[in-house]
């Protein structure tokens, strides 16, 4: 199994990393690029904490082979606040108490961003549908949906 | 969880992909969306030496022709859900695709991958560590079944949401291998054997789905039973497609998923519905016919008895919706 050098575009920055073919995008983000905002939950695609945006759409980084995403635009939670200034979706989550333990928050926030980019005025039903693949084990869904709808007004 | 080691192959064309597959045979597996395969590989259910990436091949298309709709195997589920062409011509397909898992996985998963889903079982879809506590089952190379004691064959369940709908629509699939390609009815893609549920040999891949234009006016519906409104595989799935001749049902196809190792066509339901305006009694009898042919066992969520009873309920709902009585 030969390692190879690949180019990754993460949060609009170019990275050159040495990877093995069996590494997932999640592993490389966390262990090579130290972008630990993206979390590993179940590791089998069921929980949504590892969500990143691939060309603007939410995907599971734990089920994405890193060698297959060269040349694609990858956005992690760190990319939403590059200069330390929170993104409106993040602000809405903070202001509306949508973050309890915080483990699901990166996935929830990125999924919300992708939703609002495509549909700036979602209904509650559409918001719930969008995060239907993201699990919050504190079960704070009511506040999360509230924050999502408020974020829609702020963006 | 880490993936086992493998070499990653990135062919530039379908021809090159088929060449590589014929060269490596059983040692290679193909990856499209990866949402099913990579989980299985993390569980060490598969440890292929080569993983051949199909993404990037020109199999991501939806084309309208005189014969019907042709959809490339690499078309994402999200594309199916949003495609104006699919929504207009085969709304029931967009409906079923919308029920698969959740949006982020629909962004990854493909039509071909969904049709080629491996069968599932509580005792099979587990980590290697978990499985080590028991002797090997039939599907993993052993001689026993942990679900049906005394059985010498595998009862794992085929749980695709798209297959029953496409079978009800009489879809065909194109299969390719090095030097040749052929078309088979989608139903023939399924062996009904839990051990080897998909009738593709090493070196063969599914490249395209063709859905013929239905002869008459038609309606369709898909009903899915699952614990949560998202993520879960179906505990029972029922697709119904009825062709109409005025108010009479000219042709009916009812197909079940998630109750056996392959989708099941309920032949008796067609006989009970065709040639008349289906009333409540006819629908109830068709649902009873579905109940009769569904033999779920205790290998996925819920209990076999509940799932079997729900076959009747979901079939009734699917047909009633199809008749505009939902």
Note whether A11 and A47 are same-domain residues. Answer: yes
| A117 interfacial to chain B (CB closer than 8 Å) | no
Q: Is there a contact between A21 and B51 if contact means CB atoms under 8 Å apart?
A: yes
Contacts of B228 (CB under 8 A, 6+ apart): none
* Neighbour tally for B228: CB within 10 Å: 9
Note whether A27 and A65 are same-domain residues. Answer: yes
Note whether A76 and A20 are same-domain residues. Answer: yes
Note whether A14 and A72 are same-domain residues. Answer: yes
Burial B125-157 (b: 16+ CB within 10 A, else e): beeeeebeeeeebbbeeeeebbbeeeeeebbbb
What digits encode the pLDDT tens for the residues B108-131?
A: 999 999 999 999 999 999 999 999
- When scoring B9, B49, B101, B103 by the number of chain A Cβ atoms within 10 A, the one with the most, hence best to mutate, is B103
What digits encode the pLDDT tens for the residues B203-220?
A: 999 999 999 998 789 999
What digits encode the pLDDT tens for the residues A54-104?
A: 999 999 999 999 999 999 999 999 999 989 899 999 999 999 999 999 999
| A31 interfacial to chain B (CB closer than 8 Å) | no
The pLDDT score that the predictor gives to residue A69 is 97
| A51 interfacial to chain B (CB closer than 8 Å) | yes
Dihedral over alpha carbons B40, B45, B48, B53 (to 10 degrees): -20
Angle in degrees, 0-180, between the axes of helices B280-293 and B304-322, rounded to the nearest 10: 140
How far apart are alpha carbons A65 and A77 in whole angstroms? 19
Range of the domain at A14: 4-80
Of the partner residues B5, B7, B35, the one whose CB lies closest to the CB of residue A63: B35
| Binding-site residues on chain B for chain A (CB distance < 8 A) | 1-8, 10, 31, 34-35, 38-39, 42-43, 51, 53, 55, 78, 101-105, 107-108, 229-231
Last residue of a domain, which of A48, A80, A112? A80
Residue B143 near residue B195 (C-beta atoms within 8 A): no
Note whether A13 and A69 are same-domain residues. Answer: yes
Note whether A95 and A72 are same-domain residues. Answer: no
Averaged pLDDT, B271-300: 96
Last residue of a domain, which of A80, A108, A140? A80
What CATH code is carried by the domain that includes residue A18? 3.10.20.30
Q: What is the mean pLDDT of chain B?
A: 96
What is the three-state SS of chain A?
A: CCCEEEEEEECCEEEEEEECCCCEHHHHHHHHCCCCCCCCCCCCCCCCCCEEEECCEEEEHHHCEHHHCCCCEEECHHHHCCCCCCCHHHHHHHHCCCCCCCCCHHHHHHHHHHHHHHCCCCCHHHHHHHCCCCCCCCCCHHHHHHHHHHHHHHC
The pLDDT score that the predictor gives to residue B246 is 92
**pLDDT at residue A152 tops 70:** yes
The pLDDT score that the predictor gives to residue A155 is 82
How far apart are alpha carbons B56 and A48 in whole angstroms? 25
Q: Is there a contact between A133 and B104 if contact means CB atoms under 8 Å apart?
A: yes
Give CA angle at B313 (B309, B318), nearest 5°: 140
In this structure, what token pair is assigned to residue B163?
């297959």
Number of domains in chain A: 2
Identify which of B83, B76, B86, B82 has the alpha carbon closest to the alpha carbon of residue B107: B76
Note whether A105 and A130 are same-domain residues. Answer: yes
How far apart are alpha carbons A72 and A10 in whole angstroms? 9
| A20 interfacial to chain B (CB closer than 8 Å) | yes
**pLDDT at residue B243 tops 80:** yes
CA dihedral over B80, B81, B82, B86, signed as positive or negative: positive
Averaged pLDDT, B294-306: 94
What CATH code is carried by the domain that includes residue A131? 1.10.150.120
- Cβ neighbours of A45 in B, within 8 Å: 35, 38-39, 105
Q: Is there a contact between B3 and A24 if contact means CB atoms under 8 Å apart?
A: yes
Averaged pLDDT, B55-78: 95
Q: Is there a contact between A132 and B102 if contact means CB atoms under 8 Å apart?
A: yes
Note whether A136 and A108 are same-domain residues. Answer: yes
Averaged pLDDT, B59-79: 96
Output the DSSP codes for B60-111: --EEE-SSEEEEETT-BHHHHHH-HHHHHH-HHHHHHHHHSS-HHHHTT-BH
Note whether A97 and A52 are same-domain residues. Answer: no
Q: How far is B55 from chain A (nearest CA, A)?
A: 8
**pLDDT at residue B326 tops 70:** no
Q: Is there a contact between A64 and B1 if contact means CB atoms under 8 Å apart?
A: no
Last residue of a domain, which of A15, A50, A80? A80
What digits encode the pLDDT tens for the residues B168-192?
A: 999 999 999 999 999 999 999 999 9
Note whether A10 and A50 are same-domain residues. Answer: yes
The pLDDT score that the predictor gives to residue A57 is 97
Fold category of B217-322 in CATH: Enolase-like; domain 1 (3.30.390)
Closest residue of B to A60, CA-based? B104
Note whether A145 and A112 are same-domain residues. Answer: yes
Kindly report the pTM of this predicted structure.
Answer: 0.96
Averaged pLDDT, B55-67: 94
Note whether A14 and A75 are same-domain residues. Answer: yes
């Amino acid at each position: 199994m030969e390692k190879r050098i690949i180019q990754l575009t993460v949060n609009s920055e170019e990275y050159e990393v040495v990877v093995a073919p069996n590494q997932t995008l999640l592993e490389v983000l966390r262990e090579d690029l130290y972008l630990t905002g993206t979390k590993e939950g179940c590791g089998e695609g069921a929980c949504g904490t590892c969500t990143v945006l691939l060309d603007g759409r939410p995907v599971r980084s734990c089920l994405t082979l890193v060698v297959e995403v060269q040349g694609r635009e990858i956005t992690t939670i760190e990319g939403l606040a590059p200069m330390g200034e929170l993104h409106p979706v993040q602000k809405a989550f903070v202001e509306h108490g949508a973050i309890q333990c915080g483990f699901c928050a990166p996935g929830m926030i990125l999924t919300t961003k992708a939703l609002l980019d495509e549909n700036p005025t979602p209904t509650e039903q559409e918001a719930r549908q969008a995060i239907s693949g993201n699990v919050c084990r504190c079960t704070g869904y009511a506040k999360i949906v509230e924050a999502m709808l408020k974020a829609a007004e702020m963006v | 969880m880490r993936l086992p080691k493998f070499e990653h192959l990135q062919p530039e064309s379908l021809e090159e992909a088929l060449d590589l597959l014929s060269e490596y045979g059983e040692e290679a597996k193909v990856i499209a969306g990866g949402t099913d395969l990579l989980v299985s590989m993390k569980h060490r259910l598969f440890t292929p030496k080569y993983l051949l990436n199909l993404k990037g091949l020109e199999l991501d298309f939806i084309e309208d022709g005189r014969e019907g709709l042709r959809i490339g195997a690499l078309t994402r589920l999200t594309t199916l859900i949003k495609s104006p062409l699919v929504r207009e011509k085969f709304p029931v397909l967009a409906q079923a695709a919308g029920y698969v898992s959740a949006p982020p996985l629909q962004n990854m998963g493909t039509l071909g991958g969904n049709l080629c889903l491996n069968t599932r079982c509580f005792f099979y879809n587990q980590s290697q560590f978990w499985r080590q506590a028991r002797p090997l089952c039939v599907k993993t190379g052993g001689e026993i079944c942990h679900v049906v004691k005394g059985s010498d064959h595998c009862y794992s369940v085929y749980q695709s949401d798209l297959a029953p709908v496409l079978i009800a629509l009489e879809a065909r699939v194109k299969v390719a291998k090095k030097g040749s390609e052929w078309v088979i009815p989608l139903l023939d893609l399924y062996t009904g054997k839990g051990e080897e549920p998909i009738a593709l040999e090493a070196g063969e891949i599914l490249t395209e789905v063709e859905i013929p234009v239905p002869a008459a006016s038609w309606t369709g519906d898909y009903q899915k039973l699952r614990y949560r409104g998202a993520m879960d595989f179906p505990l029972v799935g029922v697709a119904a497609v009825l062709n109409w001749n005025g108010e009479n049902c000219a042709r009916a196809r009812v197909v079940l998923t998630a109750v056996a190792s392959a989708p099941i066509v309920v032949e008796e339901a067609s006989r009970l519905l065709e040639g008349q305006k289906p009333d409540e009694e006819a629908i109830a009898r068709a649902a009873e016919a579905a109940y009769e042919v569904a033999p779920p066992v205790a290998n996925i969520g819920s209990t076999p008895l509940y799932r079997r009873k729900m076959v009747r309920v979901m079939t009734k709902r699917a047909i009633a919706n199809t008749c505009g009585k939902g």
